[in-house]
Amino acid sequence: MMQQGGTSLDREAPALVLSAALLGENNARVHVLTEENGLVRGVVYGARSRAGSALWQPGNLVKTRFQARSASGIVRLSGELLYGCGFRLLDAPLTLAMVQSVCVLADAALPEGEPCPILFAKTVKLLSFLGFDPAVSEREGLPDVVRWECALLTELGFGLDFSACAVTGATTGLAYVSPKTGKAVSEDGAGEWKDRLLPLPSFLMSEEETGTPEDWLAGLRLTGHFLARDAFGQRHRPLPAARERLVDRVARLAGQPNETPEEEGD
């Protein structure tokens, strides 16, 4: 719940729409991501109108007004569109799957009411890129989605460490990640444990690389392992279906079955 001095709340801030669910005939329960208050859950009255349905679409950036009669009361949301990407993605199913996965992961994994300025900025940047030119994001968006998932893990306190080899200390030749510790391992350091480690795609070591569908799949399987174990497994919840659908789509692009990597390892 958003916290505000005094007994009432009335403020405006940019917010990313993460989800909107029908509440009665005309209203919606809407979850948004903000810089100052992180995940906020509220109600939008009249959200099922034509204008409201277009506004409260996952992935949209909305200048949102937050109102509540008390610090513990229901938050009422209203707003106007700052940037919309949903309508651009009707002919870009892969990009649409990326946006859906990002929004659902943030909605399901983040705690309510905790500031997340770094992740908020990264999420705005990512969704703006994905929605600006779907033809480009269909080709180049997946590496940024995987990098965002790494940022989400860091925000949740489960950050991965690609700074040096956990075995040799080398900072070059990093090719794997330990599924137990989340630390990088070099080709030399992997040794006979190579088959038990998770591949580390090179685009995670360089912002300039975009990789191939095979690399994207390896990246999603890497972050998916830690999301499933740490972010969701500790709460006895599966990864969201939207995220699994994205992996399935990328697996088909790579010509590989979508299999979950073994959880044992170095």
> Looking at residue 18, which CATH number applies to its domain?
2.40.50.140
Query: Does 140 share its domain with 220?
Result: yes
Whose CA is closest to 211, among 105, 96, 220, 172? Answer: 220
Pick the last residue of a domain from 84, 103, 118: 84
Structure-block tokens of residue 77: 């949301």
Query: Does 110 share its domain with 232?
Result: yes
Give residue 10's pLDDT.
86
Query: Can you tell me the distance from the alpha carbon of 223 to that of 59, in angstroms, rounded to the nearest whole number?
Result: 21
Query: Does 35 share its domain with 79?
Result: yes
pLDDT by residue, tens only, the chain of 266 residues: 454 444 457 899 999 999 999 998 889 999 999 999 999 999 999 888 877 888 999 999 999 999 988 766 789 999 999 999 877 788 899 999 999 999 999 999 999 999 999 999 999 999 999 999 988 999 899 999 999 999 999 999 999 999 999 999 999 999 999 999 999 999 999 999 999 999 999 999 999 899 999 999 999 999 999 999 999 999 999 999 999 999 999 999 999 876 544 443 33
Query: Does 19 share its domain with 146?
Result: no
Query: Does 130 share its domain with 224?
Result: yes
Query: Does 98 share its domain with 70?
Result: no
Give residue 261's pLDDT.
44
Are 200 and 207 spatial neighbours (Cβ–Cβ below 8 Å)?
A: no
Is residue 208 one of the residues assigned to a domain?
Answer: yes
Number of domain units in the chain: 2
Query: Does 79 share its domain with 93?
Result: no
Are 73 and 3 spatial neighbours (Cβ–Cβ below 8 Å)?
A: no
Give residue 264's pLDDT.
38
Query: Does 143 share its domain with 35?
Result: no
Query: Does 65 share its domain with 128?
Result: no
Query: Does 78 share its domain with 14?
Result: yes
Is residue 171 one of the residues assigned to a domain?
Answer: no
Give residue 49's pLDDT.
82
CA-angle at 128, arms to 209 and 224, nearest 5°: 55
Give the range of the structural domain holding residue 32, as residue numbers without chain letter. 10-84
Pick the last residue of a domain from 33, 54, 84: 84
Pick the last residue of a domain from 23, 57, 84: 84
Q: What is the pTM of this model?
A: 0.91
